[in-house]
Structures are given as C-alpha cells and as structure tokens.
C-alpha cells in the first residue's frame, strides 16, 4: 500500500492519523461505555487548540504522560496528526519523580491526566515556564501557560520512550515516525479491516503499548481499553468477541490458571502470545496442558523498535512442543547472533553468550544487549537471563534465573524472584522472595535450601528468604526487582550467612 509523501514518514503517519480522525462509529470501549470517533476527533481538536492557546509552538517538543484512558488515546492521535516530537513520561510514579523528569527534559509542555498534576510538578512548570495541559472527559485545561520557547527551533517529529534496560540502564530512546509507520504497514498486510476490536492493556508509554496502539487504533481499528491487565476483563473480552488469538504479559498465564478460567471460555483461541519478560516453563506447560492453547513467545525491546523474534503458530506446529521454550526465529528482516562473554568471539550454535541484534528498521548497526541466550541448530533463540543481573557472591557469579528455575521445580513454589543484596564481606548475596501454592504444606527455608543444593552449587543458595502473597510487579507486569530488593531492607527476612 502506498502512503502519501512517503519521503517524509512524519507526513505519511500524520495523514493516516487525520484520516482516522475523520471516521465515524465506535472507537473506544472504556468499561461499559463506547466512545465514538466523532468524540475522539473533538477531544483531539480541543487539545491541539489548547496547546496553541497555551503558547506552545507547533514545532515545540512536548512531554506526554498517558494513562490508558480515552482522553489519552485522543491526545496521542492529535499529537501524531500534528507531527509533534513527543517524549513519553511514566505517570505511574510520584509527583516528585514526574517533576524531576520535567526539570531535566527540553520540552515546552506536558500533557497528562488532570488528577496527576501534583503541587511539585506545578512548581517546576511555573519555574521553567513549561505549559501544563490537563486531560479530562469534559475537555482539556491549561494548568500553566508556556513562557519559554521550544528547546529546538524545529524539533524533528519522533517519539522518545524509556527503555526497559535491555541494553543497559533505562534511558530515553528515540523511535522515529518511520518505525510507527512500519508497524501500521505490517498490520495492514497481516490483519485486514475485519476482526474483533483490539484489547489494549499495555501502558501507552512503553514499546508494547505503542506497538499495540499503532497496529490498531492509529489505523482506525476500535479498541477495548483497560487501565491494566486483569483476568476478569480479559476473560470477558475473549468470551464476548471470540478472537482466534489473544495475549498478555507473561504473568497473565499464572493468573489465568489461579482464577481457574473454564476451558470453554477460551475455546476460540488458537494461541496465546506473550513477551516483555521470561515465561516460567512450568507455568507455560501447565497452561498448555490445561487449555490446549500453545503459548507463543516474542522477543523485542524499545532499542529494537519492537519485536525482532517470534515463535509463530506455523513454527510451533512444524517443530512441536520441543521448541516451546524458545522466543522463535527472527522476524521483519532482523538478524540475531550470540557473542561469547569471555572471549568476545561469536559463539557457535548451541553455545551461550550475549545476544546481539541487527534490526533494519533501526539502522545497519548491531545492537549489543544485556540478554544472555543461545541459538540452536534450527535458528531458534532461547533466552537465559541477563548478564547485568548477575549476583557477584565473592568471586562467584550467580545468575538469578538459574536459582529461580531450580526453586520453581519445588512442588510448593508458585513463583519466585531472586535478587542480590549488599554484603560487606562478599559484596553481594542472593535473596529469594517466594510465593507458595495454596493448600500445600509450606516448606521451610531450610527445605528450600536443600532443594537447591540438589541441582546447583552451594554458592547459589539464597542467604535470605521472604515468603510473600504476591511478587511486586511493574505496570508492564514484569517482576519489579527493585521492589523485591526492598523486601529485604528490614529485619523480618530470614537471613542465613
């Protein structure tokens, strides 16, 4: 399909978004209500006008802290239709943290939900002369007018999204309009105009949310909007619309099993796709045995501009369950390779090392990640944790994922997260937060230690234990390792040196 003004992707994407805003009919279902495209267009036009009234130049960069709400979707369409440079900011943090982000960003405005404007943020906006535009169902409101010019006289249209740490500490990473345009093109080739509405449950501020948004809402497909994934809402979506495919964060698999969703409710699904974090192999097998639905994993990151590897249904059917733990083969012209951590040379088939990615949509350079993996003889990628997550216990290097995998084989362990805690003598010690299965005799930490010693060296045995009802998670449903580490800050953890 040809796009208008393909030489400049920002014009082509803006043209698509403007056509989407001219549609009629249902656009967004939020809870029990449907919002029409005419309402989306009205909110989008109001935001565009409010930015100009607030003194924000048409070429000025803006910050956007979207929650999964209809007004934020309308605002995003407006920003893309007017070719803005947009820096995403997480709204799921304290007012002080949001204020600190704005203090450091070269933007002329921040757009976010009305309830998220804290006194700390307003003080920073006033001090910097940055406009604050508050979103609400009854229209946009200017909290603070702009008093400074754009940091760049002509900000290049693009999106800046915080990375999740695949290639190092989280940082803002630029996603060009050409990448978003490519998402839309791929979706048009893969999925026609027909089909059920798309379930949008990933945060708009990360790459998974952006990808879902671009492949559905930006190109005029209606969406079912969730603030975040819940089993009840997901099950209702599947039962009502009977999609052939669905997905969610890896943690959703255990949540669906725990809620004992009936098999007949999921009978329309041919597969369940997931990514963004490792999948517990035992949970995956239990899910597949229970529902007969293959779990297909993908591998991607903000630095790659989205997914670069995927296990597809044809691959799963061709190779069987023997490849079920893989994140599949490269997609979209991407290439993968493994580099030995010690020698620095490229690793042979089946050998473990650091994953490197060549992704055409992000340029011609190989991207060095912090992920550890292997590529088998058939070209399937398997992930084994992160090199930057290693725990250094004296002179011994411990991968948390290895300890977690061993603990998950204990019949009473439902989930676990292993982190490193500081130690004056050995630098770091492994610590384990454990979720136990209900209805079983709870094991002692000594029993779990003995269980680990059967398969791993003694250095891998956690020095501290904490038994919790649930693991803390981020808004993307990844295990929040920082919050897990905080569990061991007090005296209540069982500590053995």
pTM of the model: 0.78
pLDDT digits (tens, 9 = 90+) for 177-205: 999 998 998 887 665 556 899 999 988 88
Average pLDDT, the chain: 88
Average pLDDT over every residue of 5-13: 80
Query: How far is the C-alpha of 124 from the C-alpha of 118, rounded, in Å?
Result: 10
Q: Please report, for the chain, the start and end positions of each structural domain, with discontinuous segments joined by +.
A: 9-177, 390-495
Q: Which helix (DSSP H) or strand (DSSP E) does residue 77 occupy?
A: helix 70-81
Classify residue 285 as exposed, middle or buried by CB count within 10 Å of its CB (0-12, 13-18, 19+): middle
What number does CATH give the domain 9-177? 3.40.50.980
pLDDT score, position 364: 87
Residue 51: pLDDT over 70: yes
pLDDT digits (tens, 9 = 90+) for 344-372: 999 999 999 999 999 998 888 999 998 88
pLDDT digits (tens, 9 = 90+) for 393-410: 876 778 898 899 999 999
Percent with pLDDT over 90 in the chain: 64
Bigger pLDDT: 376 or 149?
A: 376
Most confident listed range (184-198, 268-282, 305-319): 305-319
User: According to DSSP H, which parts of 292-417 are helical?
Assistant: 313-319, 400-408
Q: Does domain 390-495 have CATH number 3.10.20.30?
A: no
Are the C-beta atoms of residues 176 and 149 closer than 8 Å to each other? no
List the single range of 48-57, 116-125, 278-287 with lowest mean pLDDT: 278-287
């Amino acid at each position: 399909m040809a796009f208008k003004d393909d030489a400049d992707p920002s014009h082509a994407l803006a043209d698509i978004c403007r056509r989407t805003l001219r549609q009629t009919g249902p656009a967004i279902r939020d809870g029990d209500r449907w919002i029409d495209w005419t309402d989306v267009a009205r909110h989008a036009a109001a935001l565009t006008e409010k930015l100009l009234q607030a003194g924000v130049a048409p070429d000025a960069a803006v910050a956007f802290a979207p929650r999964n709400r209809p007004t934020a979707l309308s605002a995003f369409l407006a920003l893309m239709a007017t070719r803005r440079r947009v820096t995403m900011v997480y709204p799921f943090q304290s007012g002080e943290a949001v204020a600190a982000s704005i203090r450091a960003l070269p933007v002329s405005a921040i757009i976010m939900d009305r309830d998220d404007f804290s006194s700390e943020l307003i003080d920073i906006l006033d001090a910097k002369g940055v406009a604050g535009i508050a979103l609400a169902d009854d229209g946009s409101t200017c909290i603070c007018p702009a008093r400074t010019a754009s940091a760049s006289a002509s900000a290049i249209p693009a999106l800046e999204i915080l990375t999740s740490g695949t290639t190092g500490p989280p940082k803002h990473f630029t996603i060009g309009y050409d990448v978003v345009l490519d998402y839309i093109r791929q979706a048009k080739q893969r999925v026609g105009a027909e089909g059920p509405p798309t379930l949008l449950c990933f945060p708009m501020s990360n790459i998974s949310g952006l990808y879902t948004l671009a492949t559905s809402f930006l190109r005029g497909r209606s969406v079912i909007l969730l603030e975040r994934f819940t089993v009840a809402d997901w099950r209702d979506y599947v039962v009502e619309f009977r999609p052939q495919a669905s997905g969610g964060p890896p943690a959703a698999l255990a949540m669906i099993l725990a809620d004992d969703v009936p098999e007949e409710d999921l009978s329309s699904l041919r597969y369940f796709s997931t990514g963004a974090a490792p999948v517990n192999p035992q949970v995956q097998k239990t899910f597949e045995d229970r529902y007969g639905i293959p779990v297909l994993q993908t591998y991607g990151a903000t630095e790659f501009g989205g997914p670069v590897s995927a296990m597809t249904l044809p691959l799963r059917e061709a190779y069987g369950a023997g490849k079920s733990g893989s994140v599949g083969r490269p997609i979209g012209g991407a290439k993968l390779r493994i580099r030995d951590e010690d020698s620095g040379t490229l690793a042979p088939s089946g050998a473990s090392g650091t994953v490197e990615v060549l992704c055409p949509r992000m340029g011609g350079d190989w991207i060095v990640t912090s992920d550890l993996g292997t590529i088998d003889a058939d070209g399937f990628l398997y992930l084994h944790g992160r090199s930057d997550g290693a725990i250094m216990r004296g002179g011994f290097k411990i991968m948390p994922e290895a300890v977690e995998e061993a603990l998950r084989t204990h019949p009473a362990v439902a989930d676990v997260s292993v982190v490193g805690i500081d130690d004056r003598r050995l630098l770091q010690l492994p610590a384990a937060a454990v979720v136990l299965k209900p209805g079983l005799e709870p094991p002692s930490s000594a029993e779990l230690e003995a269980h680990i010693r059967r398969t791993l060296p003694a250095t891998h045995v956690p020095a501290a234990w904490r038994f919790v009802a649930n693991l803390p998670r981020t808004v993307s449903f990844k295990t929040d390792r920082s919050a897990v580490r905080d569990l061991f800050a007090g005296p209540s953890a069982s500590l053995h040196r």
